[in-house]
A and B are shown apart, each in its own frame.
Chain A
Amino acid sequence: MKSRSRFIRLLEGPQTLGRGPLFWAALGLAVLAAAAYPLLADGYTVGNTVYFFNWIFMALGLSLVWGYGGTLSFGQTAFFGLSGYAYGVLTLNFGAAYGLTLIALLAAMACSAVLAAVLGYFLYFGRISGVFLGIVTLSVTLVFERFMAQTAGPEWHIGVARLNGFNGMSGMPPLTLPWFGGSLTLFPDVGLYYLILTMLVLTYLGLRVLVNSKFGNVLVAIRENPERAEMLGYDVRKYQLIAFVIGAVLAGLSGALYTSWGQYITPSSMSITAAALPIVWVAVGGRGDLTATLIGTLVVLATFQALTIYGSQYALVVMGLLLVSTVLIAPEGLIVTFTKFAMRLAHGRNGSS
């Protein structure tokens, strides 16, 4: 009993908005609705919805690094791209039998983790200031994009996988699950939808536990005042580096899922425009809270998709406007600001009555 209440305390601790039976009932309903959704829509639409879900892992990772850790990384798409390419190279070389795609998925995420650990070591242990961290990670992303864009020639290959320069890699197998009597191939359809939905719910709950644990509280203490946290005996660099690596792994998960979903990956997924989009999702919803990030990302992605009908350049202008106005009007994010405002209203009424 005691351990159960401790677990609940971690799920709804001080670092996350939303607690109490009402919140969890709403969340349960949302998950149920999401689970029922494929019964109402056709397979193609469901497969497209998976596309939205794929991005949320990267957004949640950025929320951890930026919102909770307070260090702004512009390089999430580098980890996204690296992992996407790694998944492509591994599956094209080793095939999709015996659940090898799942191993490729894990290995791709491990690639992102290694890059993040090396880069993060130099950045955090060099103790560079927040502003520089952003532009160095962005520079890494841009150089990586340019590197991949020039790999058009036949000499650029890893095993049988051609990197194909600006056109990117394609034709890698989708995720497969080993199953009784032959493996299940998860094309963008209902099966993949349930897998990704499950992963999403687990990641979300897992991150809630993480940020409410001792680790998360120290991370927030560092964001609020690094010197104070250091005086209290915490190794600031280590905590920030771990958060950075977790964020990179989640971006890598997004990248590998994206590659297996569409069966292609191009260098433009790491371009400066692509790198700006996760910032928009996370900033608009509210970087300082996981739930706000999750909802914000879904809403902004849906808006972006709806606007793309008029041309993607218009949609990008709207994204830019959204970002600038969020920073100017509601720096904590629209959802977080609104929730806090509503909570204050509710408390005010309770207090006066």
Chain B
Amino acid sequence: MDALSSLFGFVYQCGDAFAFLVLAACGLAVIFGMMGVINLAHGEFIMCGAYVTVASARAGLPLPLAILCGALAAGVVGLVVERLVVRQLYDRPMDTIVATWGLSLIATQGTLIILGPSMPAVGVPFGSFTVGAYSYSTYRLVLMAAALAILIGLYLAFNKTRFGVLARATIQVPHMAEALGVDTKFVYSMTFALGSALAGLVGGLYAPTMTIVPTMGGSFIMEAFVTVVVGGADIFLGTAPAAGVLGVIKATMTSWQGQLFGQIGLLIAVIIVIRVLPKGISGFILRERS
């Protein structure tokens, strides 16, 4: 029984780490996978989602609706950012990173100026349950379910809907897609908005568990970067397995030496992976397949 409960503890930790990595990375991965663009303001979209979620929850909206508001707000901001900045830089991916980093500075410091150093949080819903000697937060299970739901949702969206087909056509051969009448600009715009909205959704999901400060996006980006780098350009063949492997590494290191060593473990893993598999896990799988 003791061994079983500690096994459950480990599985819970791994699941939690997996959920965090998938959720932190999904918005970034959608944008990178579809457009080859790294959005360094990713953390600020998460922050935006969290702020809107907390504000609307405190205004009386039930939490799930508030989280949707957060996602929607981040998506709209993403649409505007794409139109004003990212669209000008499609042929210059390096410059996109730099420009979005500038946006991230503006967003973090602007939020600090306008809304102050922190915002009162909302409590963690659902309470906790106990297995063996330890108690666990039920909300974390919701987050794990959300991570799986988002992966399944993205799979369906990109494989079963008309938009998904157009989007995949656009990444494969943009000029051919254009010649066949696909409005590729619209596809890029929608993809960026979708990635931003996912980031906002994640911000909303994690808002009850975190302190709401302007720099909160910073606690997601390192994990998001690492997952995307290890995963490569494909969300389903890359991000999901990468999050699985990295989740186990992170959970093991964290339970052994604490939070920070979890991150150091991730970092070492990523540096080794890029030496061995420069195109990430998805690149490896795709090469094996072909």
Interface residues of A (CB under 8 A from B): 72, 119, 122-123, 125-132, 134-136, 138-140, 142-143, 146-147, 150, 272-273, 276, 279-280, 283, 311, 313-314, 316-317, 319-324, 327-328, 331
The answer for the CA separation of A126 and B92 in the assembled complex, in Å, is 22
On chain B, the residues within 8 Å of A123 by CB distance are 271, 274
Q: Does B275 contact A (CB under 8 A)?
A: yes
Number of A-B contacts (CB under 8 A): 121
Residue of A nearest to B92 (CB): A331
A143 lies within 8 A of B264 (CB) = yes
Task: Give A145 Cβ to nearest chain B Cβ, in Å.
Answer: 10
Q: Establish whether residues A317 and B106, one from each chain, have CB atoms under 8 Å apart when the complex forms.
A: yes
Which residues of A are found within 8 Å of B109, using beta-carbon distances?
Answer: 313-314, 316-317, 320
The answer on a CB contact under 8 Å between B89 and A327 is: yes
Say whether B244 faces chain A, with CB atoms less than 8 Å apart: no
Contacts A140-B267, A313-B113 known; list 8 others, CB within 8 Å. A122-B275, A135-B228, A136-B271, A139-B225, A147-B260, A150-B260, A276-B101, A321-B106
B201 contacts chain A at the CB level, 8 A cutoff: no
* Cross-chain pairs A/B with CB under 8 angstroms, 11 sampled: A126-B276, A127-B278, A131-B36, A131-B94, A143-B263, A150-B260, A272-B218, A273-B108, A317-B105, A324-B85, A331-B95
* A327 and B278 in contact, given A122-B271, A139-B225, A143-B267 (Cβ under 8 angstroms): no
The answer to whether B260 touches A283, judged by C-beta atoms less than 8 angstroms apart, is: no
Contact A324-B38, Cβ < 8 Å, known A125-B275, A131-B97, A313-B109: no
Is B68 an interface residue, CB under 8 A from the partner? no
Q: Is B95 touching A132 in the complex (CB atoms < 8 A)?
A: no
Q: Which of B76-107 contact A (CB under 8 A)?
A: 85, 88-89, 92-95, 97-99, 101-106
Q: Which single residue of chain B is at the shortest CB-CB distance from A66?
A: B94
Chain B contact residues: helix, strand, loop or mixed: helix
Secondary structure type dominating chain A contacts = helix
A240 CB, min distance to chain B CBs, angstroms: 14
Check: B270 CB closer than 8 A to any chain A CB.
yes
Kindly supply a per-residue 1/0 record for chain B positions 258-290, scoring 1 wherever the CB is within 8 Å of any chain A CB and 0 otherwise: 001001100100111011101000000000000
Chain B residues, CB < 8 A from A314: 109, 113
Residues of A within 8 A of B113 (CB): 311, 313-314, 317
| B110 CB–A CB distance under 8 Å | yes
Option from A132, A138, A283, A320 in Cβ contact (under 8 Å) with B103: A320
Interface check B226, CB cutoff 8 A? yes
- Do residues A130 and B94 form an inter-chain contact, with CB atoms below 8 A? yes
Q: Are B98 and A283 in contact (CB-based, < 8 A)?
A: yes
B: number of interface residues (CB 8 Å):
42
Nearest chain-B residue to A317 (Cβ)?
B109
Task: Kindly list the 4 A-B residue pairs having the minimum CB-CB distance in the complex, ordered from nearest.
Answer: A323-B102, A320-B105, A320-B106, A324-B102
Determine whether the beta carbon of B263 is less than 8 Å from that of A131. no
Q: Are A139 and B264 in contact (CB under 8 A)?
A: no
Evaluate whether A131 and B274 lie within 8 angstroms (CB atoms) in the complex, with A150-B260, A313-B113, A324-B85 already known: no
In the complex, how many angstroms separate the beta carbon of A280 from the nearest chain B beta carbon? 8
Q: How far is the CB of A272 from chain B (nearest CB, A)?
A: 6
Residue B112 interfacial (CB < 8 Å): yes
B237 interface residue per 8 A CB criterion: no
Give Cα distance in the complex from A276 to B218, angstroms: 13
Interface residues of B in 87-140 (CB under 8 A from A): 88-89, 92-95, 97-99, 101-106, 108-110, 112-113
CA of A142 to CA of B226, assembled, Å: 12
Contact at B98–A279, with CB atoms within 8 Å? Answer: yes
Asked whether A139 lies within 8 Å of B101 as measured between CB atoms, the reply is: no
B274 and A122 contact, CB distance less than 8 A: yes
Q: Would A327 and B222 count as touching, CB distance under 8 A?
A: no
Most buried by B among A138, A279, A320, A328: A320
A327 touches B271 (CB 8 A): no
CA distance A327 to B87 in the complex (A): 12
Interface centre among A131, A311, A328 (most CB of B within 10 A): A131
B229 within 8 Å of A (CB atoms): yes
A328 to B102, CA, bound (A): 11
Residues of B within 8 A of A279 (CB): 98, 101
Say yes or no: B101 contacts A126, CB within 8 Å. no
A130 to B108, CA, bound (A): 25
Cβ A142 vs Cβ B101 within 8 A: no
Q: Which chain A residues border B102 with CB–CB below 8 Å?
A: 276, 280, 319-324, 327
Q: Which residue of A lies closest to B229 (CB)?
A: A132
**Which residue on chain B has the smallest CB distance to residue A327?**
B99
Judging by beta carbons under 8 Å apart, are B263 and A72 in contact?
no
A122, B277: Cα distance in complex, Å: 11
**B99, B104, B106, B274: which contacts A128 (Cβ < 8 A)?**
B274
Chain B residues positioned under 8 Å from A320 (CB to CB): 102-106, 109
